[in-house]
Chains A and B, each alone.
Chain A
Amino acid sequence: KAGVTQTPRYLIKTRGQQVTLSCSPISGHRSVSWYQQTPGQGLQFLFEYFSETQRNKGNFPGRFSGRQFSNSRSEMNVSTLELGDSALYLCASSGTSGSLYEQYFGPGTRLTVT
């Protein structure tokens, strides 16, 4: 079974630009969560989508948004990029049977804002 995939793996953007990251969950998984990881703040929860609806949201500004499509693939968007948005963005998916409550993470997208 293929794992969680994230594209692109690396990205360099300039302050003020916007960016869209993509996540494809494990086949059959309906929940997708997003996390931001920085050296200073560690792993922080951004938001979770289930069946195209945002179910949980972390404490991030409105510049961070996401969506989920009917095939469970998810995208997250960051508008008006700031230097502090440089981070590893991780996506995780969860299934509906067996390991229902365990999350499986992708390799992440490394975003650098200059």
Chain B
Amino acid sequence: DAKTTQPTSMDCAEGRAANLPCNHSTISGNEYVYWYRQIHSQGPQYIIHGLKNNETNEMASLIITEDRKSSTLILPHATLRDTAVYYCIVRVRDSGYALNFGKGTSLLVTP
């Protein structure tokens, strides 16, 4: 699986958009970008995934650059409950279920 690089921590004001970047410059053509988050003391939660097109669901939007070397997870209106560690994972979709979580980005949403 391709290696990812994320900032260690970020802050965001409540109600504003939180934009979490992820660099995956060695991504292969058949690798997807997945995002999970882990709220303190809970199990990780799946957020969204994509291959090359931008994706949106009820939780977030995923913007993948045209060269696929980086992506951004967008939480459009961050709330205090979005405070969590966010993990960007790149993997081949049918390669089994072993996820390499890395260190992730600790997002703090402030009032």
Q: Are B44 and A45 in contact (CB under 8 A)?
A: no
Q: Label chain A's interface by main secondary structure.
A: strand
A55 contacts the other chain (CB 8 A):
yes
Contact residues in A for B103 (Cβ distance below 8 Å): 42
Q: Label chain B's interface by main secondary structure.
A: loop
Contact residues in A for B93 (Cβ distance below 8 Å): 101
Contact residues in A for B87 (Cβ distance below 8 Å): 43
Q: Are A45 and B42 in contact (CB under 8 A)?
A: no
Contacting B at CB under 8 A, from A52-111, are 55-56, 58, 90, 92, 94, 99, 101-108
Contact residues in B for A58 (Cβ distance below 8 Å): 98
B96 contact from A48, A90, A108, Cβ within 8 A: A48
Contacting A at CB under 8 A, from B49-71, are 49
Q: Are A33 and B44 in contact (CB under 8 A)?
A: no
Distance in angstroms between the alpha carbons of A99 and B34 in the assembled complex: 12
Q: How many Å from the CB of A30 to the closest CB on chain B?
A: 11
B30 contacts the other chain (CB 8 A):
no
Contact residues in A for B46 (Cβ distance below 8 Å): 99, 102-104
B99 contacts the other chain (CB 8 A):
yes
Q: Are B96 and A102 in contact (CB under 8 A)?
A: no
Q: How many Å from the CB of B97 to the closest CB on chain A?
A: 5
B99 contact from A55, A103, A107, Cβ within 8 A: A103
Question: 1/0 contact trace for A3-20 toward B, CB 8 Å?
Answer: 010000000000000000
A45 contact from B34, B45, B49, B98, Cβ within 8 A: B98
Excluding A101-B94, A105-B44, 16 further A-B contacts by CB distance (< 8 Å) are: A4-B43, A35-B101, A42-B103, A43-B87, A43-B99, A48-B98, A90-B43, A94-B97, A102-B34, A102-B49, A103-B44, A103-B99, A104-B46, A105-B45, A108-B42, A108-B43
Residues of B within 8 A of A (CB): 34, 38, 42-46, 49, 87, 93-94, 96-104
29 pairs, A vs B, C-beta closer than 8 Å: A4-B43, A33-B97, A33-B98, A33-B99, A35-B99, A42-B101, A42-B102, A42-B103, A43-B99, A44-B101, A45-B100, A48-B97, A48-B98, A55-B96, A56-B96, A56-B98, A58-B98, A90-B43, A101-B93, A102-B49, A103-B44, A103-B99, A104-B46, A105-B43, A105-B44, A106-B43, A107-B42, A107-B43, A108-B42
